[in-house]
Chain A
């Protein structure tokens, strides 16, 4: 075999190995976390752990329900805030804005994506939390504990996912063929009708994928959320309540885990749960995406 072909074969195998490694990482994590979480799973049925509301590690009570609900509330609220705003701005950027504005706006939005989580958290503490305490909550006549709430977490989180959704969505929309737009305009449709019925319809799978990508990141954004969300072990009942999402639990208590029996196992289980929640979210999203591509939705 000559050296040229040997090189080719080695490099392709190396790349295959790298790909296999990347694909298998998820399963290694799953197995690793399960292995470390198994002590607590063997003491109590999983159902009790997931739906019990009491968390007091010193008494050996590990109920994950408040944390699971906290995660879902914060992420859900962030979706509600982020999706409309980022969709509208990406429609504007790709369809209406002239190229100079686009050239100015895109780097700014990209910049937003690169800001470290803890900076968002600090900003949340000095701006979002006081805003909720002093202006928003009094205006609606609701009580908060100093503004630390799901709402604060949702606002901070939504801003963190804006840049991802905006940049991918406007990219997808710009990739829609110009011919389609011209055809639509030539039969007398207005610009908005063209966007709504032609561009958005064509770009729908891509937009949906952008939203999934944004929120897969959002589930685990720890620092920013834990700094503003209040971290109280209780099932929240409104967006003005404090909550305790799973990533915050892991980050906050990691240090104490060695002194209390089963604590480390419980924290590993929390990580496993988070992984599974994200996985389920992704599978559902993937199913919807397939349906969209088939034209069912």
Chain B
């Protein structure tokens, strides 16, 4: 009898606990971080900033974020960073769930996400480029003629182009195209699908591989493979050339069946960055990269984001990203400053 009462009591307590956890599934905002009053970004901070900023999300932004965090730490040594990459989807879910303070999201933010409290600020820009193995049998032809948006659509969405011969027009080539895509919810596939004609990630055909590095590796290992990567995973930051084993498929933008000199800017990271910067490379697959917080950022997060939008901008070009137009940056600074 005694035991029965005890068990019932425990059950009731636990049930309340579980229901409480469930109903608060999206969690408490930014719990666990110190709320340090931030100094004004323009004037040097009077109070020494300290605390930990937890960041997760898009692979596309990960290399840039590492540089920003290191530079920021030289100014504020007491601020610690905890940065991980797991795809834009994870960044969004982690931020709204209160697991991290800042999410990196490499795609547009949906109204549904804004409704749940996602507060976003565009900080830089990059692009997604189609990739192919450097031993691909049709490589020479691909480099010469490129592929049109329509041809990519037939490879990735409708599946009507199945061989490399069909893609390049050399009918003698019957090598099958092994199509690769991302399996995890991410910005790169969303952007790529949008470029192919307002599709979504679910509609991309092909074998799903986890993460940006995984997709690069799959194409690097499969000479009949086709994939796509964020610029910073398709190019090597040190050599400024495409990652060894991978080539970029040029986009035939004017659809004249050949890559004209003004369409040819894939040789080095700097060339493609310049092409994205002056809009020779279309958008999408170029896209803004956003930082997301749950509600308006405060404390050290606010200071960090503001620093990224001001002093932090000077580290962008050398890292292989593109600086946003000044009015867009001003818009971002206003968004951080506004007392919404």
Residues of B within 8 A of A288 (CB): none
A36 within 8 A of partner (CB): yes
Contact with B along A252-279 (1 / 0, CB 8 A): 1111111110000000000000000000
| A28 and B18 within 8 A (CB) | yes
Contact partner of A20 (CB less than 8 A), chosen from B7, B22, B214, is B7
- The number of residues on chain A lying at the interface, defined by a beta carbon within 8 Å of a beta carbon of chain B, is 45
Contact between B6 and A255, CB atoms less than 8 A apart: no
Are A146 and B207 interface neighbours, CB within 8 A?
yes
Inter-subunit contact B184/A258 (CB<8 Å): no
Bound CA span A70–B13, Å: 38
Q: Is residue A63 contacting chain B, with contact meaning CB distance below 8 A?
A: no
Chain B hits for A57, CB < 8 A = 202
Closest to A35 in B: B22
A259 and B110 form a contact (CB under 8 A)? yes
With CB as the reference atom, state the residue of chain A lying closest to B103. Answer: A255
Say if the beta carbon of B11 comes within 8 Å of chain A: yes
Are B110 and A254 within 8 A (Cβ)? no
Contact with B along A112-151 (1 / 0, CB 8 A): 0000000001000110011001000000000101111000
CA distance A244 to B184 in the complex (A): 12
Q: Which residue of B has the minimal Cβ distance to A126?
A: B217
Q: Mark B211-250, 1 if CB is under 8 A from A, else 0.
A: 0001001100110110000000000000000000000000
Contacts of B91 in A (CB 8 A): 255
Q: Does A232 contact B (CB under 8 A)?
A: yes
Q: Contacts A231-B207, A255-B87, A256-B89 given; indicate if A130 touches B14 (C-beta within 8 A).
A: no
* CB < 8 Å neighbour of A256 from B21, B185, B203, B224: B185
Assembled-state Cα–Cα distance A146/B217 (Å): 11
Chain B residues with CB below 8 A from A52, complex form: none
- Determine if B64 is an interface residue (Cβ-Cβ < 8 Å): no
A30 to chain B, nearest CB (A): 11
A252 lies within 8 A of B14 (CB): no
**Are A143 and B93 closer than 8 Å at their CB atoms?**
no
How distant is B152 from chain A, measured CB to nearest CB, in Å? 18
Question: A231's closest neighbor in chain B, by CB?
Answer: B208
Quick one: given A32-B18, A125-B214, A255-B92, are A226 and B183 in contact (CB under 8 Å)? Answer: yes
A58: nearest chain-B partner, CB-CB: B200
Confirm or deny: A21 has a beta carbon within 8 angstroms of a beta carbon on chain B. yes
A interface footprint on B84-117 (CB within 8 Å = 1, 0 otherwise): 0011111111001000000000000010110010
- Does any Cβ of A come within 8 Å of B316's Cβ? no
Known: A21-B10, A31-B18, A252-B208. A258 touches B178 (CB 8 A): no
- In the complex, what residues of B have CB within 8 A of residue A143's CB? 176
Q: Does A248 contact B (CB under 8 A)?
A: yes
**B207/A242 in contact, CB under 8 A:** yes
Shortest A21–chain B CB gap in Å is: 6
Judged by a CB distance under 8 angstroms, whether B180 is at the interface is: yes
* Cβ of B133 to closest chain A Cβ, rounded Å: 10
- Least Cβ distance of B305 to chain A in Å? 21
Query: Residue-by-residue, is B62-93 near A (CB-CB < 8 Å gives 1, otherwise 0)?
Result: 00000000000000000000000011111111
Complex CA gap A121/B211 in Å reads 12
What 0/1 pattern do residues 150 to 175 of A give for CB contact below 8 A with B? Answer: 00000000000000000000000000
Bound-complex Cα distance A21 to B6 (A): 11
The yes or no answer to A187 lying at the interface (CB within 8 A) is: no
Shortest Cβ distance from residue B155 to the other chain A in the assembled complex, whole angstroms: 13
How far, in whole Å, are A20 and B87 apart by their CA atoms in the complex? Answer: 39
Are A259 and B113 in contact, CB atoms less than 8 angstroms apart? yes
Contacts A/B (CB < 8 Å), 6 sampled = A58-B202, A146-B224, A227-B209, A227-B210, A252-B185, A256-B92
Residues of chain A at the chain B interface (Cβ within 8 Å): 13, 16-17, 20-21, 24, 28, 31-32, 35-36, 55-58, 121, 125-126, 129-130, 133, 143, 145-148, 226-227, 230-233, 242, 244, 248, 251-260
If A24-B10, A232-B207 are given as contacts, then 13 extra A-B residue pairs at C-beta distance below 8 Å, sorted by A number, are A16-B7, A24-B11, A28-B14, A36-B25, A56-B202, A58-B200, A148-B218, A230-B208, A233-B202, A253-B185, A254-B93, A255-B93, A259-B112
